Structure 1
Amino acid sequence: MKKFLALISLLTAVATLNAQTPLSALPKDSLKLFLQPVEVRALRAGEKAPFTKTDLNRQQIEKTNIGQDLPFLLNQTPSVVINSDAGNGVGYTGIYIRGTDDSRINMTLNGIPYNDAEEQAIFFVDLPDFASSVNSIQIQRGVGTSSNGAGAFGATINFSTNEFNEKPYAEFNNSFGSFNTWKNTLKAGSGLIDGHFTIDMRLSRIASDGYIDRATSDLRSLYFSAAWYDKNSSLRFNILQGKEKTYQAWNGIPQAKWDGNQTALQQHYDNNIGSLYFNQQDSLNLFRSSNRTYNYFTYKDQTDNYWQNHYQLFFNHQWSNELTFNSAVFLTRGYGYFQEYHDQGDSANAKYTSYGLPPYIIGADTLQSTNLIRQRWLDNYFYGSVLSLQYKRNNTELILGGGYDRYDGKHYGYVLWAANGGFPDDYRYYYEPAIKIDYNVYAKWQQQFGQHWTGFADVQWRHLDYELDGFDDNPAILVHPKYNFVNPKAGITYTHYNWQAYFSYAMAGHEPNREDFEAGVNDQPKPERLHDFELGLQRRGLKYSWGVTGYYMLYHNQLVLTGKINDVGDYTRSNIARSYRLGIELQGSAKPVNWLSVDANLALSQNKAFNYVEYDNNYDNGGQVSHAYNTTTIAFSPAVVGAATLNFMPGRHFTLSLPAKYVSKEYLDNAQQENRKLDGYYVQNLRAVYTLTNKLSRETDIIFQLNNVFNKRYTPNGYTTSYISGGQLQTDNFVFPMAGTNFMVAVNIKL
């Protein structure tokens, strides 16, 4: 922390010494350093870079940002599949790109890593309404260019908020919709003050009852940014704060409940009550509640509570027209807990021995378990720095960059209440510190050869040092893995008039997640490796454009769930030697007349794993039974994903859009069994935007959005478990349904 504060002081001193010419007195050409932040140029793929990408600007973001989480704003981009625990896009949401989940998607905020350091997942819920401060987004599918933070095994998403706003502004955005969903956002900016300073800020609140029973959300966030500009330098300080309280809905709904199959539902209840779920009352609710909105949890404080504060300081300096420098230091402070109730019938979580205590003796009675309430805490600091040096002259562009970050995290839990007693006051039943250090160095070179050809080369070295001091179920596992990844990338682009073609190869390494190391002392996971080949062709015209991309992604030692149980009886991921993704992505847009435009994309893919072994629990005889498969389809990897939007503009101020999404069937695990799959679905939405301009406001947008117009019953996410009981293989599927027809109305006022 002392080094962090010292670096802030140094950058501030440099900025003060450089203060000379007011920015307002400079010619427009001198503003180029600030109009596109340097940290964005260092990580994003440029126009001629040979990588598959999609760019979204602020106008595109604003028209879809009316209350739902960030994945829902990206839903119309290629190869994207989204989901929501609460069923309406508020609260916990998830995203898959090319069949890979968010733990394999690299995300940065202004070039600073965002993925959870240990789970490597992206928790969008921790930054509510972040989209209201985002000015641009780039999605690179595949490995993409070198970035800071977690390895990109499916995509990289880069968000930028550091936009220069020369003129003062104010916005007041309000949304209301189904399930008592509210979004209130207040934004304001000072514009350029005294030729050197700008201030931007935002306050947001999002609340929803959720589509699923009790899946409520109460989300608050703040964004503050103060910047100082000079002729050749800029200094910016950002604060992003998020607070979330969500009722837990992360168990999903049994497939039998969703289907309304009473026979299968009774069998599910008989097989699992007292062993799989937390509470007999919750499980009895299986037979009484709606089969479309059912939630296991009935305890009133079954909630997740988390606070996350981001502090970012950037210093940019342009030494000359050719040489630019960017540096940043950051601190992310996260802390919070989830609270839950366990019934004494829950053999795994309500026994005294599960909490390191002997059975509780009261008189002549010896109690093995009790009803209890517990909290499980995360308390962490994530801090570090990133920097880049960029050189561009004539047809040559060079970037040298890298970053260092350190994660200091603590995992611990408390028992708050026990019905039968037997726990000391404020009893902490586990405490697990963890430290993870990650640093990387990369070099990127782009060279134009002649009029049409551009070459690209990129190499990154990434080092990881991880210390894990036990797990709550297995405190004896102490591991200290270290990894070194060398990630080369190279490609070439051909450009001629409105045509562009490219080919690239990229390699990436990816470390295991925290839970993977709990497999056992003698069964530790191996790191993953990906080879990514991309081939693209694009054509742009005045009234139409189209593109086609072919990709082949070859994985070595990919970590997947197999049903295998670790030393303490928990499911763990295992390495499979070889798997691949082979696909083609088609994109097109056209505006044949002034009042009509269309955007569409279609992704066709084959996603296969070789020599996959499945493990099932044998409740009859104990232990596990294995089943081997030669070639199977990788879980959560639909063969077809498509999106299309028709836009009608009958008047200058009115736009009617018809966004649609299609996702084919996908399997819940890698065994490719038809009784363990999610059905394909087609969802049609409708959005109408009317824009007013008058003396009272610069612009007022009235937005109406109708989601799931045809009331489609569909589930984009789920999980499965299989076991042998009564001599037969039993399978329980769980799904996360999305809401039927629902609406949102927004009034966004810009002053």
Structure 2
Amino acid sequence: MKKLMLGMLMIISQQLAMAQYKLSGVVKEKNNNEIAVSGATVEVAGNGTTQTDSEGRFSILLRQKGNYLVRISTVAFKQFEETIAVTEKETKLTATLEAQPLFLKPVEVSAIRAGDRMPFAKTNLNKKEIEKMNLGQDLPFILNQTPSVVINSDAGNGIGYTGIRIRGTDATRINMTLNGIPYNDAESQGLFFVNLPDFSSSVNSIQIQRGVGTSSNGAGAFGATLNLSTNDFNEKPYAELNNGFGTFSSLRHTIKAGSGLIGKHFTIDGRVSLIKSDGFIDRGSSNLRSAYLSAAYINEKTSLRLNAFTGKEKTYQSWNGIPEAKLRGDEAKLLEHYYNNYYLYDTREDSINLFRQDNNRTYNYFLYNNQTDNYRQDHYQLLLNHEVNKSWNINAALFATRGLGYYEEYKRNESLDDYGLAAVESDIIRQLWLDNWFYGSTFSAQYKRNNDQLTFGGAFTRYDGKHYGKIIWSEEPVTKDYKWYDLTAYKTDFNFYTKYQRRINSRWEAFADVQYRNVNHVIKGFRKNPSLQSGGNFNFVNPKIGISYADGNGWLGFASFSIGNKEPNRDDFEAGVNQQPKHETLYDFELNIEQRKEMYNWSVTGYYMHYNNQLVLTGKVNDVGAYNRINVPKSYRAGVELQAGVKPASWFNFAGNLTLSDNRILNFTEYVDDYDNGGQKENSFNSPALSFSPSAVAGFTLNFIPVKNGEISLLNKYVSRQYLDNTGNKARSIDPFFVSDLRLNYAIRFKGVKEINLTFQLSNLFNRIYETNGYSFSYIYAAQTVTENYYYPMAGRNFMAGINIKL
């Protein structure tokens, strides 16, 4: 191994010593050479891509001299395309981009996204980067290499139900918008990416903000924000066919097409997708379908766009996880704590024998052939952008989201008196339904003149939801499709924000932002407590201030302070009048310094996030018999995010990030059910670690370009120990893991075809055994404390291959 490493270092040093050619330059606006274009994508055909910095500068290394096709693109400008002759060691290019007169930069993006010099920690992904990583897996897997991100998958291979945490913040605290329209579920506040199958194929840019971030629409950002934009403008007609297949009978078919500009004013873009997979977990299958249609009218001052997209999913339930005894092959614990499989076998012995025979890491408790989740979500967006004059832009949008679906499950030996029927036991098949509408409007206006920029905007949304359950089959006679509960809920959300940016001089810029938000949630009963009516009315003021620095020589930095407030979710309200939850408050301090140079870049971001009344699980049973989250007075997350990138040669580059953090509750009380004596036992802890908040998260990618148009990428991820609850008990935790993926990309270009991209990804290259998610509960029985851990394992070595044909 030592000789091999020495040999590799020798080869690399020899390659680095070889002559290198460099294309560098600056990108500016055509009609105003004083204005640099930052964030533009610079592509040198066959040699990779880079982005312009805050001063519009870029640099890319080339293997040899010759003629190179250079494309430069960004929103609101026509694409620059020119063949450049590279004959010297360094060739310089000054490119000017012409503003697209028939397209206005989407104001919803400018209104809620953080610009390059705004004082917030952020990561931007452009269309090229998204395409390279998109093999049909859910959005979290595309974001996996970004800072402070930890992802998980119920089925173990990234298709179906997936999740994401950023800085330890779960999905219910991550604000997500689609073209400025709120996406989070109004009641649970969660993110269900499974309802957006292959949506990444229609996305042209993503911004991830870490911390409170800038004001946005929808659920309050309480640790992170995801902004996705699909409103791309395509001047010329195009068509794409994207097919993929892989392990676990996974397949993906996507067709995209666009009309280009019709009659100087109209465009139409569409997509249809099908994704299927059997999943790594037994019966953890997914059948996902989606469609996207966008039509726009555009003139010199105005654009009007209608987006309609839908997602339909049918996934076999794998959300119970695997008992630790099964996962570890612990025969003694298996016999001590009997896990009964209710669906096929009536005797203890048969159930245990089946439990022993099933594969340890792919075991699924459910056996009923239609134990599935079925849901469809339809989105309608109407967006208007208008340029009043050179200083003012305005934006308004109307939207409606329709959700309808259920999950079906087999329940054995249910007591029918729990369903309002006779007090007898019966096997049943039931469906739990959601039927809801989420609708409203957003608006914003921007004023920009000289050194001042003012933005104000807001949103009004309304959620109307129905929750009901049906028994569709029963061993004992029951009326067909009998409903045992039928409940309603509604939620209104109004917010208004004002942002002001002031360029003090060429280096310093100040920022101030304040948002007012009113939330009213009315819940008319819960499934297990149908007569309990609950909810609350909340008024929040969320201010942010900051200052940023950029010297024009690659040095940048910022400091900011933000306050965020967040209402409880639906489940939190399932409590008596004297145990209603309080809202949560977050105080977020951010400090950053970074340097961007032609050959390298690095940044350091420190953060301190202090919570008042954070809602966490404690195991406590409230006065209506529910295990809900309760407010803990003080908790915090403190950490540092390190990022770096190096481009030492035309054939090699490196990018990585590392987050080190300390995440704690200052005083925590655990409640454990006592089956011996009744009631609950209390255990106190002094400053335990917050659950699912690893102290170290790292991602780094090695990119090799061995041939023109070809790239080999080694993607690596490390996540330290995660605790399943808030006790800091190692016996209730997820082991640290380090996993690597290998991705191969090759592009073919010839006459009649724009491009054929071949992609092959081998995930979990070294076949690591690891888990990314889980849960835990404890109880006292026979004078012993028994802890039950459940885990969600990830697949071993597996692959996905794809071919994308662009016409």
Q: Name the CA distance, whole Å, in 1 between partners of 2:722 and 2:99.
A: 51
Aligned ranges 1:607-686 → 2 under 5 Å:
607-686=663-742
Tell me which residue corresponds to 1:12: none
Distance 1:278-1:338 versus aligned 2 partners, 3 A rule: farther
CA deviation vs aligned residue, 1:441-487 (integer Å, no higher than 9, x gap):
00000000012110000000000011100111111211241000000
Aligned ranges 1:376-395 → 2 under 5 Å:
376-395=432-451
Tell me which residue corresponds to 1:8: none
Tell me which residue corresponds to 1:485: 540
Partner-residue secondary structure (3-state), 2:325: helix
Which 5+ residue runs of structure 1 have no aligned equivalent?
A: 1-22, 345-349, 360-367
Distance 1:493-1:440 versus aligned 2 partners, 3 A rule: same
Are residue 232 (structure 1) and residue 301 (structure 2) matched? Answer: yes
Q: Name the CA distance, whole Å, in 1 between partners of 2:655 and 2:487.
A: 50
Q: Name the CA distance, whole Å, in 2 between partners of 1:252 and 1:475.
A: 29
Shift of 1:35: 5.7
Q: Name the CA distance, whole Å, in 2 between partners of 1:382 and 1:655.
A: 43
Partner-residue secondary structure (3-state), 1:519: coil
Aligned ranges 1:130-209 → 2 under 5 Å:
130-209=199-278
Q: Give the residue type in structure 2 aligned to 1:484.
A: N
Tell me which residue corresponds to 1:347: none
Distance 1:122-1:285 versus aligned 2 partners, 3 A rule: farther
Partner-residue secondary structure (3-state), 1:454: strand
Q: Name the CA distance, whole Å, in 2 between partners of 1:278 and 1:407.
A: 44
Contact 1:720 1:734 in 2 (8 A): yes
Q: Name the CA distance, whole Å, in 2 between partners of 1:555 and 1:87.
A: 32
Shift of 1:567: 3.6
Are residue 91 (structure 1) and residue 160 (structure 2) matched? Answer: yes
Partner-residue secondary structure (3-state), 1:212: coil
Tell me which residue corresponds to 1:19: none
Q: Name the CA distance, whole Å, in 1 between partners of 2:487 and 2:422.
A: 21
**TM-score by structure 1 length?**
0.93
Are residue 441 (structure 1) and residue 505 (structure 2) matched? Answer: no
Tell me which residue corresponds to 1:74: 143
CA deviation vs aligned residue, 1:326-382 (integer Å, no higher than 9, x gap):
0000000000000000010xxxxx1112112231xxxxxxxx311000000000000
Q: Name the CA distance, whole Å, in 1 between partners of 2:306 and 2:355.
A: 51
Are residue 456 (structure 1) and residue 511 (structure 2) matched? Answer: yes
Q: Name the CA distance, whole Å, in 2 between partners of 1:89 and 1:76.
A: 14
Aligned ranges 1:360-439 → 2 under 5 Å:
368-421=424-477, 423-439=478-494
Distance 1:279-1:558 versus aligned 2 partners, 3 A rule: farther
Contact 1:285 1:296 in 2 (8 A): no
Partner-residue secondary structure (3-state), 1:41: helix
Match of 2:521 among 462, 466, 469: 466
Q: Name the CA distance, whole Å, in 2 between partners of 1:68 and 1:717.
A: 18
Q: How many equivalent residue pairs?
A: 711
Q: Give the residue type in structure 2 aligned to 1:425.
A: K
Shift of 1:274: 7.8
Tell me which residue corresponds to 1:332: 401
Tell me which residue corresponds to 1:364: none
Match of 2:778 among 716, 719, 722: 722
Shift of 1:29: 4.5
Q: Name the CA distance, whole Å, in 2 between partners of 1:643 and 1:278.
A: 48
Aligned ranges 1:534-553 → 2 under 5 Å:
534-553=590-609
Q: Give the residue type in structure 2 aligned to 1:718.
A: G
Tell me which residue corresponds to 1:358: 422
Shift of 1:283: 7.4
Tell me which residue corresponds to 1:475: 530
Q: Give the residue type in structure 1 aligned to 2:546.
A: G
Distance 1:703-1:590 versus aligned 2 partners, 3 A rule: same
Partner-residue secondary structure (3-state), 1:203: strand
Q: Name the CA distance, whole Å, in 1 between partners of 2:714 and 2:104.
A: 33
Q: Name the CA distance, whole Å, in 2 between partners of 1:493 and 1:420.
A: 69
Tell me which residue corresponds to 1:590: 646
Q: Name the CA distance, whole Å, in 2 between partners of 1:283 and 1:223.
A: 47
Q: Give the residue type in structure 1 aligned to 2:240.
A: E
Match of 1:295 among 341, 349, 364: 364
Shift of 1:32: 6.9
Contact 2:175 2:220 in 1 (8 A): yes
Tell me which residue corresponds to 1:244: 313
Are residue 260 (structure 1) and residue 329 (structure 2) matched? Answer: yes
Are residue 212 (structure 1) and residue 303 (structure 2) matched? Answer: no
Q: Name the CA distance, whole Å, in 2 between partners of 1:696 and 1:726.
A: 76
Distance 1:214-1:228 versus aligned 2 partners, 3 A rule: same
Contact 1:702 1:746 in 2 (8 A): yes
Q: Give the residue type in structure 2 aligned to 1:70.
A: L
Q: Name the CA distance, whole Å, in 2 between partners of 1:590 and 1:278.
A: 62
Q: Name the CA distance, whole Å, in 2 between partners of 1:204 and 1:520.
A: 46
Q: Give the residue type in structure 1 aligned to 2:475.
A: A
Tell me which residue corresponds to 1:15: none
Match of 1:65 among 123, 134, 154: 134
Q: Give the residue type in structure 1 aligned to 2:683.
A: H
Contact 1:279 1:343 in 2 (8 A): no
Tell me which residue corresponds to 2:655: 599
Shift of 1:28: 7.2
Tell me which residue corresponds to 1:520: 576
Tell me which residue corresponds to 1:362: none
Tell me which residue corresponds to 1:315: 384
Contact 1:221 1:243 in 2 (8 A): yes
Q: Name the CA distance, whole Å, in 2 between partners of 1:79 and 1:580.
A: 16
Q: Give the residue type in structure 1 aligned to 2:174.
A: I
Q: Give the residue type in structure 1 aligned to 2:466.
A: K
Shift of 1:65: 0.3
Q: Name the CA distance, whole Å, in 1 between partners of 2:456 and 2:162.
A: 35
Distance 1:748-1:278 versus aligned 2 partners, 3 A rule: farther
Contact 1:35 1:164 in 2 (8 A): no
Partner-residue secondary structure (3-state), 2:335: helix
Are residue 574 (structure 1) and residue 630 (structure 2) matched? Answer: yes
Distance 1:387-1:278 versus aligned 2 partners, 3 A rule: farther
Shift of 1:656: 0.3
Q: Name the CA distance, whole Å, in 1 between partners of 2:501 and 2:148.
A: 28
**TM-score by structure 2 length?**
0.86
Q: Name the CA distance, whole Å, in 2 between partners of 1:127 and 1:639.
A: 31
Contact 2:103 2:300 in 1 (8 A): no
Q: Give the residue type in structure 1 aligned to 2:542.
A: N
Partner-residue secondary structure (3-state), 1:336: strand
Match of 2:617 among 530, 550, 561: 561
Contact 1:278 1:341 in 2 (8 A): no
Q: Give the residue type in structure 2 aligned to 1:53.
A: K
Identity %: 55
Match of 1:41 among 73, 95, 110: 110
Contact 2:341 2:365 in 1 (8 A): no
Contact 1:269 1:283 in 2 (8 A): yes
Tell me which residue corresponds to 1:748: 804
Q: Give the residue type in structure 2 aligned to 1:436.
A: K
CA deviation vs aligned residue, 1:84-104 (integer Å, no higher than 9, x gap):
000000000000000011000
Contact 1:233 1:317 in 2 (8 A): yes
Match of 2:557 among 498, 501, 504: 501
Shift of 1:653: 1.2
